[in-house]
Amino acid sequence: MAASPPRHSTSEWRSRAVRPGLVLALGLAVLAGVFIAQNRDRMQISFFAMDVSAPTWLLLTVMTVLGVAVGALLGRARR
């Protein structure tokens, strides 16, 4: 006689399910990474009285990290 497969509760299946928001976030992260990797030229940035020359990929990475931090802080404030 064959053994029956173990039964899982509904909450276990929900925790294992792929969430659309997670898939979207991962897709956007991959797109941002590709975009950053393809932009390697140097850029001149003027911010208030400062002039900065840096590789575009570095500036894009810094701005992406700042955007994620602001999003996380706003998401936390909403709770």
Is 68 a member of any domain?
yes
Domains held by the chain: number: 1
| pLDDT per position as a tens digit, 19-69 | 888 899 899 889 988 988 888 889 898 988 899 899 888 888 888 899 989
The rounded distance, in Å, linking the Cα atoms of 77 and 69 is 12
Q: Is the pLDDT confidence value at 14 over 90?
A: no
Is 64 a member of any domain?
yes
pLDDT for 6: 64
Is 48 a member of any domain?
yes
Is 27 a member of any domain?
no
Note the pTM of the prediction, 2 decimals.
0.57
Is 30 a member of any domain?
no
Q: Is the pLDDT confidence value at 13 over 60?
A: no
Is 76 a member of any domain?
yes
pLDDT for 11: 58
Per the structure, the complete domain to which residue 79 belongs is given by: 41-79
Is 8 a member of any domain?
no
The rounded distance, in Å, linking the Cα atoms of 32 and 67 is 12
pLDDT for 60: 85
The rounded distance, in Å, linking the Cα atoms of 77 and 79 is 6
Is 47 a member of any domain?
yes
